[in-house]
Chains A and B, each alone.
Chain A
C-alpha cells in the first residue's frame, strides 16, 4: 500500500486512436475505500479510461499503478486476478449460460489467492444473487431476462470476483429514480461489507453526486476538475463543459 492509502495511481495516461485523442494526459489518484465519481459529457473518455485500466485497451502513453505495481502492460485477465475489475456499459453477459452460472464464473475466477473451488463458489454465488435480488431468476438464461436484470447480474458477477477496486460503468442508465436510490444504497452497503474501492463512471450528474466522496470531471479526454461534489458543482470549468460558455457566463453573472 502506498502512502496516504492510495490504491490506484493514473499518471499522464493517454490513448490516441490515430488523430483522435480519446484520453489525453489524465492523472489522478484513487484512495482506498472511497467512492470516486468519474463524470463528464458523452465522449469525454470515461469508459476509455476504464478500458485502459483493466487492460482491454493498450495505452498510447502514461502508466497505471495498482497497489505499487505497474499494471500498464498486463493482460486483462492478469489485472482481474490482481483485484481490479469493471462492469460494462454495453453489457457483456456469458451467453448460453444461466444467471447463476454467470455469477459462478465470476466467483470461481476473479481475484487470485482465494482458494476457490466448486463447492465454496457455489455457496458464495447463491449469497450474492440473493443480495442483488435475482434469486427468482437464477436459472434463467441471460437471453431470457431484461437488460436491467443483466446489469444486476453483471454487478453480482463482479462482486463475486472479490475485487479490491471496481469500476462501475454507467450502472444507473435506464433506471427509475426509485431504482437509482435502491442501487445507491446497495453500492454503499457493498463498499463497506466487502472492503472495496469504487470508481463510479456516470454521465448523469445527479446520480453520482449523492454517492461519491470525490469527483473527477473529464472533457474531451482531459481532466478539467477534481474535488468534492460541492466544489465540482460550482466549478465554472465544469458548468462550461456541460452547458457551454454562454450559459456559464450567465450563471456567473447571475450569481
Chain B
C-alpha cells in the first residue's frame, strides 16, 4: 500500500480529488462543533505542509516553525486593530513571515541537525518573549482581541471552514508544483546529499532559504486566519511548543516527504485529540502523552507504513496456509 500511495501518481490524484469533494460537501451534514473540528484539521494540515517541505523534502527539522503561525496571527491582529480589513492584513502577515524567514534563515540554515532544530525553537521562544513584552503593540501576555465578524455563528464557521479548506488545497497544490520543479529537485538534493548537491552547482543556501520562505508563507496565512477566526489570541497559544510537537506527530503518522501525508496525519491526530479531550478531562495531558508514546511503539512508520506491514504480514500468512 505504501508503494501504491508513494509511487502511483494516479492513485494520489484520485485520493486527493475524492477527499476534496468529501470536504466540500461535508459541512452541510455536520454540526457547528464538528465544522470547527474539521477547520482545525485543515489548519494543522497546512502547518504540517510547511514542516513537510523543510523536513520531509529537504531534511531540515524546524522545530520552532510555529513562530510563523504566531507571526501571522499577530500581524493580523495588530493590523485589524488599526482598522485594516482582513484581506489587507493577509498579504502583510505573509510578507512579514517571509521577510523573517530570510532574515533568520541566512545565518540559521547554516546550522545542521539537532542544533538547527533547537535554534528554531529558541527563535520561537525569543519572538514570543518579544510579543509578551511589547504590550502597547501586541497586548502583551494577556493576549489581544480582533474585530468580531457581525454575522450569525453558523455563517462565520462556514466561512472559516471553506477558507481553511481553500488554504489547504492551495498549499498542497503549490507544494506539489514546487517539488516537481527544478527548485524542488534542488531542495530534494539537499536532503539526499548536501555536499554532492553543492558540487553539482546547487546554491544550497538559496534553496534552503527559499524552502523556508515557502514554509513561512503557508504557516503565516494559517496563523492570520486562525486569529480572525478565534477573535482572541495569546502569545503562549500561537507560539506554542505543544503545537510544534503536534505537527511533528502529524508528520510521523501521515508520513513525511509525501504530498498527502500531512493531510492524513492531521486528520488522525486531530481526531485522536478530540477523543482524548472529550473523554478525559483531568487526565487529557497524561493520556495524550501516553498516546504519543504508544504511536512510536506501535505505528512508528506512520499510518501508511503500518498498514503496509499489516497487509504484507497477512499476505504471507495466507500463502503459508495455501501451500500446507
In-complex A–B contact (CB below 8 Å): yes
**A positions within 8 Å CB-CB of B:** 54, 56, 75-77, 80-81, 85-86, 88, 92-97, 101, 104-106, 108-112, 116-118, 121, 157, 161
Query: Bound state CA distance, A85 and B199, in angstroms?
Result: 7
Cβ A56 vs Cβ B199 within 8 A? yes
Contacts of B192 in A (CB 8 A): 93-97
Flag the segment in B159-167, B201-209, B287-295 that touches A: B201-209
Query: Bound state CA distance, A94 and B199, in angstroms?
Result: 12
Greatest chain A CB density within 10 A among B192, B198, B199, B204 is at B199
Cβ A105 vs Cβ B199 within 8 A? no
Query: Bound state CA distance, A170 and B320, in angstroms?
Result: 49
Given A97-B192, A105-B185, are A111 and B199 also a contact pair (CB < 8 Å)? no
Given A105-B185, A109-B186, are A96 and B200 also a contact pair (CB < 8 Å)? no
B24 beta carbon closer than 8 Å to chain A: no
Cβ A85 vs Cβ B200 within 8 A? yes
Contacts of A111 in B (CB 8 A): 201
Q: Tell me the nearest residue of chain A to B196, going by C-beta.
A: A92
- Contacting A105 at CB < 8 Å: which of B181, B191, B200? B200
Tell me which residues from 173 to 208 in chain B have a Cβ below 8 Å from any Cβ of chain A: 180-182, 185-186, 188-189, 191-193, 195-204
- Contacting B199 at CB < 8 Å: which of A76, A95, A101, A118? A76
- Contacting B191 at CB < 8 Å: which of A86, A96, A110? A96
Cβ B204 vs Cβ A77 within 8 A? yes
Given A94-B193, A105-B200, are A118 and B182 also a contact pair (CB < 8 Å)? yes
Cβ B182 vs Cβ A106 within 8 A? no
Q: Tell me the nearest residue of chain B to A85, going by C-beta.
A: B199
Please classify the interface of chain B as helix (H, G, I), strand (E, B), loop, or mixed, using the class held by over half of its residues.
helix
Interchain nearest-CB distance for A124 vs B (Å): 13
- Contacting A161 at CB < 8 Å: which of B185, B195, B201? B201
Contacts of B204 in A (CB 8 A): 77
Mask, B102-122, CB within 8 Å of A = 1, is 000000000000000000000
Cβ A77 vs Cβ B198 within 8 A? yes
Selected A-B contacts with CB under 8 Å, 12 pairs: A76-B199, A77-B198, A80-B200, A93-B192, A93-B196, A94-B188, A95-B192, A97-B189, A105-B185, A108-B182, A109-B201, A157-B200
Q: Tell me the nearest residue of chain B to A87, going by C-beta.
A: B199
Query: Bound state CA distance, A122 and B196, in angstroms?
Result: 20
Cβ B199 vs Cβ A54 within 8 A? yes
Contacts of A95 in B (CB 8 A): 192-193
Given A92-B193, A94-B192, A96-B192, are A75 and B198 also a contact pair (CB < 8 Å)? yes
Contacts of B197 in A (CB 8 A): 94, 105
Interchain nearest-CB distance for A67 vs B (Å): 16
Interchain nearest-CB distance for A127 vs B (Å): 18
Query: Bound state CA distance, A92 and B186, in angstroms?
Result: 16
Contacts of B189 in A (CB 8 A): 94, 97, 105
Interchain nearest-CB distance for A115 vs B (Å): 11
Contacts of B182 in A (CB 8 A): 108, 116-118, 121
Given A104-B185, A105-B185, A109-B186, are A81 and B201 also a contact pair (CB < 8 Å)? yes
- Contacting B203 at CB < 8 Å: which of A56, A77, A85, A110? A77
